[in-house]
Amino acid sequence: MDGLILREITKKINDNIAGSLVRDIYFINKELIFKLNTGVLFIDLEANMPKIQYYNKNKKFKNINFKSNNPFFRYLRKNAKRSKIIKIETVDNDRIIDLTVSKLTPLGVKEFNLYFEFIGKLINAYFVEEGKIKHLLKPKKGRRALEIDDEYQLPKNKRLDFLNYNLDEAADKLKNGKKMHQVFKNVSPFLNSELKYLLNKDNSIKNILKKFNKRFKKNNYYIYKKNKRYFLSSIKMDSFAEIDKDSDIINLVNKYYDKILKEKKLREKIKELRKIIISRIKKDKRTIKKVKSDREKHLKYKKYKIYGDLLLAYKHKVKENMDAIELKNYENGENEKINLDPNLNANENAEKYYSKFKKGKRALRKIQLRIKELKNEIEYLKQVKYFSSNISDKSGYLDIKQELEEMGLIKIKKNKKQRRNNRKSKYKYITYKDYKIYYGRSAKENEKVSLKLGNQDDWWFHVRNGVGSHVVIKYKGEEIPDEIFEAASQLAVYFSDSSGGSKVSVDYTKCKNVKKPKGTPPGFVIYDNFKTIIVDQDEIYLKKIFKSEER
């Protein structure tokens, strides 16, 4: 949020809140929330993303902190709660907000100024009375030397004001290599990229600056995207992808922070989740390779029993202090060289080989079980990987993240309580021709749809040898038409890694034939008494299905 956007939204907010009563003040993380009789004002003091927002309707809050240990917040709440807002404005068109309030005290009506400085990478906040600082919030590494009881002074800024500057002076500075945000105190670095772009069409910096000022005065506001970054602008730009445009800056800013940036953050979280999943699949495959190598070593364990049997059968040939002996193997007729411990007799050497035989047998059994577990985990992770690519909201992300935490595949941070999902599951289904067709959106939900939601006479569908949703048709006590079976088969393909494919095999059976083996990962089932239908994905037919009510 550059100085121009901050100025414009502050002006619009002032139109909405001047004269409003501050009913209460909340503190969530580093976000101040002023609950007014006319709406809600947010001022975020997070250095990575300082912002100001306003809602003219009540907004629900989570994790509200009424008893913050932050001294500035406690002082602010004590002295500004039940106050009246006189005005909110930016100071000198810079990234400094002055929120002026008045409050009736035992000594009469007093006026206070709340200054929020969004300059650089650090944020300062000051509670000022009659020009003197009564309390403050500033980072330890900040450059501002102001302290409590000092006279409040604005930070020095020698850069030009984009709304009031000498054209020749600004053009000269830009010609000498300075960037737009180095020349002007209230524009973003993105405007410098736009300047470079326009210079390819018009080499006159003065003309471009005039164009910027003309565009600013149109009072339209934009959301742009550059690579993976989104930003707000009060100036129309030609070099970036326009995401949205609005003449109401409050609406646009709220959309920017509440939707676009949250969606971007969610996509980044999903990407990190997928990295963890892919990394674990690769690790499991490497482990299988290593375990199989160990298995080769233990495959010789049967030989140890033969050695023990031969030593007992020919123990009269075993002499004292012998370190090896050759004995004829009665199974294949070949001579076997058997190493001996010279300090042990024939019986003791035989017992030693029997012990190695039992140990090898146990080890091989464990290895085979471990390989099976790893293969099951890989299949499970393939499911999670598929479903993670179809996450559409934060709830879906948290469900899959929780799944991986419960499986021990993601470490839960210390001092962080594990999120418990106590809400009643809302299964996703499509109503088609009066039949409800349910489908899972995660491995865990697949299991619930198949084993908890699905009754004995309900029908179950899944792509063969593929990853995707378990699909269930609810039985209504009458024969299900072929068209419903076809619709469920189409959905099973659509909600799978074979989506859009042709000649896809879909297995279907009654839910009573679907079982979950003990100790297997979420979503892992086996089934029998099934039939197979070959499906060619039909987009027209799918549109027909999705036109029905989806819940």
Summarize pLDDT for 22-69 with one digit per residue, the tens.
999 988 777 889 999 999 999 988 766 778 999 987 666 665 655 667
Q: Is residue 160 part of a domain?
A: no
For position 58, what pLDDT does the model report? 67
Residues 314 and 394 in one domain: yes
Most confidently predicted of 121-125, 192-196, 331-335: 192-196
Kindly state the tokens that stand for 106: 């035992």
Residue 551 predicted with pLDDT over 50? no
Closest by CA to 399, choosing from 439, 440, 444, is 444
Residues 97 and 32 in one domain: yes
Kindly state the tokens that stand for 515: 């079982």
Determine whether 190 is exposed, middle or buried from the number of CB atoms within 10 Å of its CB (0-12, 13-18, 19+): buried
Q: Is residue 115 part of a domain?
A: yes
Residues 383 and 472 in one domain: no
Q: Where are the alpha helices (DSSP H) in 475-517?
A: 482-494
Map tokens 């995707």 to a residue: 468
Residues 180 and 133 in one domain: no
Alpha-carbon distance of 335 to 549, in angstroms, equals 78
Q: Residue type at 219?
A: N
Section 244-266 average pLDDT: 88
Residues 335 and 282 in one domain: yes
Residues 462 and 539 in one domain: yes
Alpha-carbon distance of 8 to 248, in angstroms, equals 10
Section 83-89 average pLDDT: 95
For position 511, what pLDDT does the model report? 95
Q: Is residue 321 part of a domain?
A: yes
Residues 212 and 330 in one domain: no
Q: Is residue 142 part of a domain?
A: no
pLDDT, the chain, mean: 88
Kindly state the tokens that stand for 226: 């550059």
Q: Is residue 150 part of a domain?
A: no
Range of 529's domain?
428-546
Three-state secondary structure readout of 119-155: CCCCCEEEEEECCEEEEEECCCCCCCCCCCCCECCCC
Are the CB atoms for 203 and 171 separated by under 8 Å?
A: no
Please give the angle made by the CA atoms of 482, 484 and 486, to the nearest 5 degrees. Answer: 70
Give tens-digit pLDDT for 436-477. Answer: 999 999 999 999 999 999 999 999 999 999 999 999 999 888
For position 418, what pLDDT does the model report? 46
* Global pTM exceeds 0.95: no
Of the candidates 408, 423, 438, which is a domain's last residue?
423
Are the CB atoms for 213 and 197 separated by under 8 Å?
A: no
Closest by CA to 44, choosing from 57, 33, 55, is 33
Per DSSP, the chain holds a count of helices (H) and strands (E) of: 14, 22
Q: Is residue 551 part of a domain?
A: no
Residues 239 and 202 in one domain: yes
Are the CB atoms for 95 and 155 separated by under 8 Å?
A: no
For position 64, what pLDDT does the model report? 60
pLDDT-derived band at 392 (thresholds 50, 70, 90) equals confident
Of the candidates 397, 423, 449, which is a domain's last residue?
423
Section 6-32 average pLDDT: 90
Residues 471 and 386 in one domain: no
Residues 445 and 306 in one domain: no
Q: Residue type at 341?
A: D
Residues 533 and 452 in one domain: yes
Alpha-carbon distance of 214 to 426, in angstroms, equals 52
Of the candidates 391, 423, 455, which is a domain's last residue?
423
Residue 296 predicted with pLDDT over 50? yes
Section 252-268 average pLDDT: 85
Q: How many domains does the chain have?
A: 4
Q: Is residue 159 part of a domain?
A: no
For position 424, what pLDDT does the model report? 55
Q: Is residue 371 part of a domain?
A: yes
Residues 44 and 120 in one domain: yes
- In a 3-state reduction of DSSP, which class is residue 413? coil
For position 155, what pLDDT does the model report? 86
Give tens-digit pLDDT for 87-110. Answer: 999 999 899 999 999 998 888 899
> Residue 170 contacts by C-beta under 8 Å, 6 or more apart in sequence?
160, 183, 184, 209
Higher-confidence residue: 498 or 259?
498
**In this structure, is the dihedral angle defined by the CA atoms of residues 312, 317, 321 and 324, taken in order, positive or negative?**
negative
Are the CB atoms for 464 and 506 separated by under 8 Å?
A: yes
Give tens-digit pLDDT for 337-384. Answer: 999 999 999 999 999 999 989 988 888 888 888 999 899 999 999 999
